[in-house]
Amino acid sequence: MNNIILCGFMGSGKTTLGESLAEHFGMELIDTDKEIEKRENRSIADIFSSEGEAYFRGLETELIKELKNRENLIISLGGGLAANRVNHPYLKEAGRVILLECSVEETLRRISGDATRPLTAGGREDIVERYNKRKPIYEEVADIVVDSSGDINRTFNAVISIL
């Protein structure tokens, strides 16, 4: 099977679903956030605070350019990767893009006050604004859209039945 790419806003369930899909299909999981943290040997929060967001975005683009040349991967993207149109051609080349769409209320419940995510520091209004701005951009690149507002098993079953 070719690569399966999970995209969506922070808290949409990409990481958890990625783990379940990788186990189910016996495929390797690459979580772009974890991969970047491993290569940089520091946390996302550290990268943002010492190098700034643009540096992190550059790392994301380099990584997806590299991953498009590999096969049989479940790729779970950091929330900003598919929100950056520069990455869309690489994502389309890399595999089938599944967008996990979680309601804004549930998203806020899941991510508000999470210190490991630098972009939640601006609070609820800022998160909602970012969510609304990104939604259509995610939809542009998605091959499949799945509602992930419910529990993870429901999302897992929905994705499996589509695949």
From the CB of 160, what's the least distance to ligand S3P, in Å? 21
Classify the C-alpha dihedral 128-81-6-121 as positive or negative.
negative
Enumerate residues 54-93 that contact ligand S3P by CB under 6 A. 78-80
- Which one of 91-99, 112-120, 137-145, 150-158 is the stretch in contact with ligand S3P (CB under 6 A)? 112-120
Concatenated DSSP letters for 19-46?
A: HHHHHHHT-EEEEHHHHHHHHHTS-HHH
- For residue 136, the cross-strand partners are none
Considering the complex, state which of residue 16 and residue 144 has its C-beta at the smaller distance from ligand S3P: 16
Q: Looking at beta carbons only, is 14 or 68 nearer to ligand S3P?
A: 14
User: Exposed, middle or buried by CB within 10 Å (0-12, 13-18, 19+), for 74?
Assistant: buried
Which of 81, 131, 138 minimizes the C-alpha distance to 106?
131
Among the listed ranges 62-70, 86-94, 117-125, 151-159, the one in contact with ligand S3P (CB under 6 A) is: 117-125
Q: Kindly determine how many residues on this chain lie close enough to bind ligand S3P according to the rule CB under 6 A.
A: 11
In angstroms, what is the minimal distance from the CB of 78 to ligand S3P?
2
138 C-beta neighbours (distance < 10 Å), count: 22
Whichever of 79 and 95 has its CB closer to ligand S3P, that residue is 79
Residue 121 Cβ vs ligand S3P, minimum distance, rounded to whole Å? 10
Q: Is 21 left (phi over 0), alpha (psi -120 to 50) or beta?
A: alpha
**Which residue ranges make up the site for ligand S3P (CB under 6 A)?**
10, 14-15, 33, 44, 78-80, 117-119
